[in-house]
Amino acid sequence: MEHAPTWVFLFSVLLIFPGVNSESDRVRRSLVEFMGKLSPDDALRDDSWGWNLTSDPCAWRGIACNPGSPVIRKIVLDGLGLSGIFDPEFLCSARSLVVLSLSGNNLGGGIPREISNCKHLTHLYLSNNRFSGEIPVSMLKISSLRRINISNNNFTGKLPDLGENPDLLSFLAQNNHFIGSLPETDYARYEEFNVSNNNLSGQIPDLKGRLGVDSFLPNPGLCGKPLPNSCPPPLPSRKKSKEWSTDRFLIYLGYAFLGLLVVLFIGLKVVCLRKRRNRVVDDEKNIIGEESTTTSKSRVTRPPSVEFKNGDKSEYSMTSMEGGPSTLVVLNDRAVKDLNFDDLLRAPAELLGRGKHGTLYKVMIDGLADLAVKRIKEWGVSSEDFQWRMKRIDQVKHPNVLAPLAFYCSRQEKLVVYEFQPNGSLFKLLHGSSNEQTFDWGTRLNTAVSIAGALAFMHGKLREDGIAHGGLKSTNILFDRNVDPCISEYGLMMVENTQDYSSSFISQTETDSFGADTYAFGVILLELLTGKTVENSGVDLARWVHSVVREEWTSEVFDRALISEGASEERMVNLLQIALKCVSPSPSERPSLRDVATMVNALKEDDERSMVSELSSTFLASKESGNQQTA
């Protein structure tokens, strides 16, 4: 009986605090579930690993608790090679968690919005993984969060609204694939901030002198301080002010009345001049007869004309825009800053080629590098949209995309001016009669990598604007003075022209210019691999390759020149598989250019590793042979 009070006391404690053990067990089970989705390597599961239902979580690898208590404060699992999926739904059961670090692992997928359940989190480190997708808005709504590091991942979409967390001190998001503009926030408060090496664009907000260029470069679309490139002046807004007052109404009414008087005055002058001219013409009829009158009328009513000249032979003529001057818009290029429309018209020109959608000329102007002028026809784009399109393309620069230097736009004519590229096109290199230039496997693969990367970049920058290439083919893959490939005429065709690739093999109703670019790039890959001429805009070549592969004669498709040089058939087959994905008849089954660029670049890296390995083996064999001869 003397032990009864102790037993009663313990029983009372269990009755009063029934949830203590159950809560601890629930947290432990949740953490084990969390780790189970991370797929740790079996090599990690030594005696110190823990993460099971039978041991104390405070003794597990990577967990730190408050001294002398079972309260979990930190989970740090950096550089352990963890893979799988990050699931914060189970993790946030540890409500006292303030630090979470999973950097340097191999985690993929996105960040679920349930991360907001970790309400006391102050530090979140997820850098150097394979996370992708957009950042959930809920993450910035964790009011306690002070430091975020999501650098070196594959995140896409726009940057999160940093204004959701006004107490954030550090935000590191470099080396991802974010697009859009920088969010509005108080940048003066940040101790660390870095969004370099993304695809951001637009003007940098006021940084109040706190951040330097290293926080933003490279982001080719960004402009403004502290970057060296200034932003272009904004286009005039089309929005009408809604703030009207009586005074403003009277002012505008006065302007309208004054304008009406001016119009009436000009109208009277025109009528008087016309009557006076008619009187002069009548006098000429009476004096020099009907023939002279006809000549006079022709001289008065004929619209001005202009010509490109090649010696004494006219190669090209056009009619100036009625109702306004002929103006050449020079884009941001110092080399042609003094170029004007009349210079183009008077300069000798050489006809380079005619196509379905326009004519191309080489124009030679004293004091300037040779120019290529593209005349576009049968393109139902308004002058306003054409000007906006050219200026938007000029804002996106890539070394493997030929940038427009200037453009001209009237109701009748549209011209685009480029720097002339002297080393010809990919089409001529593959299918021309001259074999002076070596075009081996390595050069072809490098060309594919450069073009895929450039297209992926342009698509990433201009997708929201709906500007794809629209007419990609081997004739507009040019080689510059350094014999580097560059894409010309980007954005000069619209979505309706995707029918260039239409037949029973690809839908005529296709309306995605970006998907058509993927298909066209696939055709270019087939040209590089087969060395064959493309007919009917690529349809016959794609169908022929599909038929040969279907009959299991894959090796028959490859260019004999590649086989003669000893190019790896395995790697040619790998590139062929990428090409066949691109020319899939179903647009929904084609990969994006970004995915294509990743695949082609991985193939190039594998090719380079194999080359290094072969050279190393050859060197070691030669060295061993030399040693044997010496012996």
Domain ranges for the chain, please list them: 22-223, 252-302, 305-420, 424-631
Model confidence over 559-585: pLDDT tens digits? 888 888 888 888 899 999 999 999 988
Average confidence (pLDDT) over 98-103: 91
* Higher-confidence position of 143 and 317: 143
Average confidence (pLDDT) over 7-32: 55
Distances (CA, A) of 264 to 259, 261, 276: 9, 5, 18
Supply the pLDDT for residue 616.
58
Supply the pLDDT for residue 308.
45
Average confidence (pLDDT) over 186-210: 85
Residue 374 annotated as lining a ligand binding site: yes
Q: Please name every residue paired with 419 in a beta bridge, in sequence order, or none if there are none.
A: 371
Residues 76, 64: Cα–Cα separation, whole Å: 8
Let me know if 438 is exposed, middle or buried by CB neighbors in 10 A (0-12, 13-18, 19+). Answer: exposed
Q: Is 428 helix (H, G, I), strand (E, B) or coil?
A: helix
Confidence check: pLDDT of 395 > 70: yes
Q: How confident is the model at residue 347 (pLDDT cuts 50, 70, 90)?
A: confident
Residues 429, 437: Cα–Cα separation, whole Å: 8
Chain-wide mean pLDDT for the chain? 76
Peptide bond into 587 cis (omega under 30): no
Supply the pLDDT for residue 626.
54
Residues 435, 181: Cα–Cα separation, whole Å: 48
Confidence check: pLDDT of 306 > 50: no
Tokens, residue 92: 């946030």
Closest CA to 510 of 596, 590, 597: 590
Model confidence over 380-394: pLDDT tens digits? 677 888 888 888 998
Q: How confident is the model at residue 6 (pLDDT cuts 50, 70, 90)?
A: very low
Tokens, residue 182: 């920088």
Model confidence over 259-283: pLDDT tens digits? 888 888 787 877 776 665 555 444 4
Confidence check: pLDDT of 417 > 80: yes
Confidence check: pLDDT of 2 > 50: no
Confidence check: pLDDT of 299 > 70: no
Average confidence (pLDDT) over 154-181: 90
Supply the pLDDT for residue 57.
86
Angle between helices 569-582 and 593-630 (to 10 degrees): 180
| Residue pair 486/421 in contact by the 8 Å Cβ criterion | yes
Confidence check: pLDDT of 16 > 50: no
Supply the pLDDT for residue 430.
84
Q: Please name every residue paired with 171 in a beta bridge, in sequence order, or none if there are none.
A: 148, 193
Measured at the CA of 173, the angle between CA 169 and CA 176, to 5 degrees, comes to: 175
Long-range own/partner contacts, residues 118-123 (CB < 8 A, 24 or more apart): 118/88, 118/91, 118/92, 118/142, 119/92, 119/95, 119/143, 119/144, 120/95, 120/96, 120/144, 121/97, 121/145, 122/98, 122/146, 122/147, 123/98, 123/99, 123/147
22-223 fold: 3.80.10
| Residue pair 432/533 in contact by the 8 Å Cβ criterion | no
Q: How confident is the model at residue 149 (pLDDT cuts 50, 70, 90)?
A: very high
Supply the pLDDT for residue 610.
78
Q: Which helix (H) or strand (E) holds 615?
A: helix 593-630
Residues 325, 318: Cα–Cα separation, whole Å: 14
Q: Please name every residue paired with 72 in a beta bridge, in sequence order, or none if there are none.
A: 65
Model confidence over 40-82: pLDDT tens digits? 766 677 777 888 888 888 888 888 887 767 788 899 988 888 8
Q: How confident is the model at residue 314 (pLDDT cuts 50, 70, 90)?
A: very low
Supply the pLDDT for residue 58.
87
Confidence check: pLDDT of 325 > 70: no
Distances (CA, A) of 547 to 304, 540, 556, 577: 56, 11, 11, 14
**Percentage of residues of the chain with pLDDT beyond 70:** 75
Tokens, residue 464: 């929201």
Q: How confident is the model at residue 154 (pLDDT cuts 50, 70, 90)?
A: very high
Angle between helices 513-530 and 539-550 (to 10 degrees): 60
Domain 424-631 has CATH 3.30.930.10: no
Supply the pLDDT for residue 69.
72
Supply the pLDDT for residue 624.
62
Closest CA to 334 of 374, 368, 375: 368
* Higher-confidence position of 562 and 324: 562
Average confidence (pLDDT) over 84-106: 85
Q: Is 333 helix (H, G, I), strand (E, B) or coil?
A: coil
Supply the pLDDT for residue 49.
85
Supply the pLDDT for residue 477.
94
Average confidence (pLDDT) over 188-213: 85
305-420 fold: Phosphorylase Kinase; domain 1 (3.30.200)
Supply the pLDDT for residue 174.
93
The mean-pLDDT minimum among 69-78, 179-188, 192-201, 493-502 falls in 493-502
Query: Exposed e or buried b for every residue in 128-141, given b needs 16+ CB within 10 A?
Result: bbebbeebbebbbb
Sign of the C-alpha dihedral computed for residues 434, 438, 441 and 447 taken in this order: negative
Q: How confident is the model at residue 302 (pLDDT cuts 50, 70, 90)?
A: very low
Confidence check: pLDDT of 335 > 80: no
Model confidence over 488-546: pLDDT tens digits? 999 887 644 333 443 333 443 345 788 999 999 999 999 999 888 765 444 478 888 88
